[in-house]
């Protein structure tokens, strides 16, 4: 189609826009028989339902994050307990090595001098090995044990409430639901069934989140106490290792001179 030189091709778009229906807002049909105020009220009610649904979904996600954090804290605590067991066994091994070195020193003294050997023979009592001690399970500090026990009690409950492990029932809850405006509340909750359920679910999740955060706090304090205790154990082990290294070096020098 040919246009005259003075023709504006964008003018057709403006003309077409004039024939398009104007949006009345709130995504409502202008022929639904409601007044503008009623349509606005319905739109606001739908927004309330969408906001409530968003808040409930957010609380479920937050509860899931708390569950994941607590699970990680429990696994960390269990690993720390296993590390404590290793430190305890290492300390016992060092004590046994020290006892063996003392026995070796007595034999070296006997070899170095006949008189020393006779003295040791008559003075020394027959060596009696102490009875073998039954291995005992390593016990973490009381604060960590209490926090671990408390978190394990809620493990099944968190499994049931985790949003990725269950199917949420949200039928009839959403933008299509209506709110009973102006009606009295029951026990502090809205009269509308779906909105009341949303508020109750939100309150329940908030209570569980509060308890979960408290348990996380106890786990953190227990972990810190256990780490401090194991730091002291590691410091003691390092001192024993240094002493053992000196004794072993001294024993080797004596053996070379024999």
Mean pLDDT along residues 212-225:
94
For the chain, what is the total number of helices (H) and then of strands (E)?
6, 0
Alpha-carbon span 17 to 10, nearest angstrom? 11
Is residue 76, in this structure, part of any structural domain at all?
A: yes
Is residue 177, in this structure, part of any structural domain at all?
A: no
Instruction: Say which residue the tokens 């291995």 belong to.
Output: 135
Kind plus residue range of the DSSP H or E element containing 49: helix 36-112
Percent share of the chain, pLDDT over 90: 32
Residue 94 CB partners (closer than 8 Å, separation 6+): 237, 240, 241, 244
Sign, Cα dihedral of 137, 141, 146, 148: negative
Q: Say yes or no to pLDDT of 144 above 60.
A: yes
Alpha-carbon span 120 to 40, nearest angstrom? 105
pLDDT at 153: 82
Nearest Cα residue to 97 out of 256, 231, 246? 246
Is residue 46, in this structure, part of any structural domain at all?
A: yes
Is residue 215, in this structure, part of any structural domain at all?
A: yes
Is residue 184, in this structure, part of any structural domain at all?
A: no
Is 73:216 a contact under the CB 8 Å cutoff? yes
Domain tally, the chain: 1
Q: Which two tokens stand for residue 251?
A: 């024993």
Nearest Cα residue to 199 out of 185, 218, 213? 185
Instruction: Say which residue the tokens 């005992």 belong to.
Output: 136
Q: Say yes or no to pLDDT of 122 above 90.
A: no
Q: Give the DSSP letter string of 63-95.
A: HHHHHHHHHHHHHHHHHHHHHHHHHHHHHHHHH
What pLDDT digit, counting tens, does each position of 8-26 carry?
Answer: 554 555 544 444 444 444 4
- Which residue has better confidence, 126 or 203? 203
Is 229:141 a contact under the CB 8 Å cutoff? yes
Q: Which domain holds residue 76?
A: 35-91+196-238
Tell me how long the chain is: 258
Alpha-carbon span 239 to 47, nearest angstrom? 68
Backbone φ/ψ region at 171: left (φ over 0), alpha (ψ -120 to 50), beta: beta
Alpha-carbon span 8 to 119, nearest angstrom? 125
Is residue 183, in this structure, part of any structural domain at all?
A: no
Is residue 147, in this structure, part of any structural domain at all?
A: no
Mean pLDDT along residues 166-173:
44
Confidence of residue 155 (pLDDT cuts 50, 70, 90): confident
The pTM assigned to this predicted structure is: 0.64
Q: Say yes or no to pLDDT of 56 above 60.
A: yes
Q: Say yes or no to pLDDT of 239 above 80.
A: yes
Is residue 161, in this structure, part of any structural domain at all?
A: no
Q: How many CA atoms lie within 13 A of 178 on its CB side?
A: 9
Q: Say yes or no to pLDDT of 132 above 90.
A: no
pLDDT at 182: 43
């Amino acid at each position: 189609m040919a246009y005259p030189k003075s023709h504006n091709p964008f003018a057709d778009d403006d003309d077409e826009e004039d024939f398009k229906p104007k949006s009345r807002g709130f995504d409502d049909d202008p022929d639904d028989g409601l007044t503008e105020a009623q349509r606005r009220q319905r739109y606001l009610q739908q927004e309330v339902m969408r906001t409530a649904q968003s808040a409930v979904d957010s609380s479920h996600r937050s509860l899931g994050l708390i569950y994941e954090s607590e699970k990680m804290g429990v696994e960390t605590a269990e690993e720390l307990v296993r590390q404590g067991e290793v430190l305890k066994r290492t300390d016992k091994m060092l004590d046994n090595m020290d006892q063996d070195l003392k026995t070796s020193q007595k034999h070296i003294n006997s070899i170095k001098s006949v008189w020393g050997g006779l003295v040791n023979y008559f003075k020394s009592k027959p060596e009696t090995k102490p009875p073998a001690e039954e291995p005992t399970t390593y016990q973490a500090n009381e604060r960590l044990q209490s926090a671990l026990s408390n978190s394990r009690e809620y493990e099944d409950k968190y499994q049931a409430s985790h949003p990725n492990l269950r199917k949420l029932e949200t039928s009839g809850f959403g933008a299509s639901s209506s709110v009973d405006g102006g009606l009295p509340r029951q026990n502090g909750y809205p009269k509308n069934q779906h909105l009341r359920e949303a508020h109750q679910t939100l309150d329940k999740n908030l209570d569980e989140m509060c308890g979960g955060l408290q348990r996380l706090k106890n786990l953190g304090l227990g972990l810190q106490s256990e780490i401090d205790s194991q730091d002291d154990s590691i410091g003691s082990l390092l001192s024993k290792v240094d002493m053992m290294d000196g004794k072993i070096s001294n024993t080797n020098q004596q053996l070379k001179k024999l």
